[in-house]
Structure 1
Amino acid sequence: MVRTPLTPEERERGERLGQLLRVARGGRSMVEVAASAGLSAETLRKIETGRAPTPAFFTVAALAGTLGLSLDELLSSCAPLPAAPTAA
């Protein structure tokens, strides 16, 4: 199976998601949070570092529940940034 390359915007959105999850994790270990969400620590590491910029919905939902984040909060924080106006 050949996967379509991600756009720069998709990569940037994945980086924002990873940063938000790292901040929300706070002082808790990656292993603790991953286990609570039913994931491997390696999966969480990949998401947090942007190596897995498009995790599955249920993975994101599990992390959100474990970290006390709402899906609305995640969406608003990780939604595509508005395009800069172009000079005419």
Structure 2
Amino acid sequence: MVRTPLTPEERERGERLGRLLRQARGGRSMTEVAADAGISAETLRKIETGRAPTPAFFTVAALAGVLGLSMDDVAGRCTPAAPVAPAPSVAA
């Protein structure tokens, strides 16, 4: 199966998710958090490093639950800010 290349926005969202999860994990080991979420440590490593920038919803939900994050917080902190469109010019 051939995957469609990721857009720059998808890559950025994945990097933001990885940073958020690393910060929320704090001093807990990757192995401990992954086991508590029911995923492998390698999967968590890939998500945290951005090598798996589009993890399944249920994986993100499980990690959020283990780390005490709400899904609203995860979504809000991982969505890139929308670029500001220039104001339309007004004809005189």
TM-score, normalising length: structure 2: 0.90
| Higher Rg of the two aligned structures | 2
What pairs with 1:1-88 in structure 2 (closer than 5 Å)? 1-86=1-86
- Paired letter, 1:35: A
Distance in 2 separating the partners of 1:76 and 1:35: 26
Which structure 2 segments of 5+ residues have no match?
A: none
Distance in 1 separating the partners of 2:76 and 2:44: 21
* 1:39-70 CA-partner distances (Å, limit 9, x unpaired): 10000000000000000000000000000000
Q: What is the alpha-carbon root mean square deviation over aligned residues?
A: 1.3
- Paired letter, 1:25: R
Stretches of 4+ moved more than 3 A in 1?
84-88
**1:79 CA drift (Å):** 1.3
Which structure 1 segments of 5+ residues have no match?
A: none
Distance in 2 separating the partners of 1:6 and 1:53: 9
Q: How many residues align?
A: 88
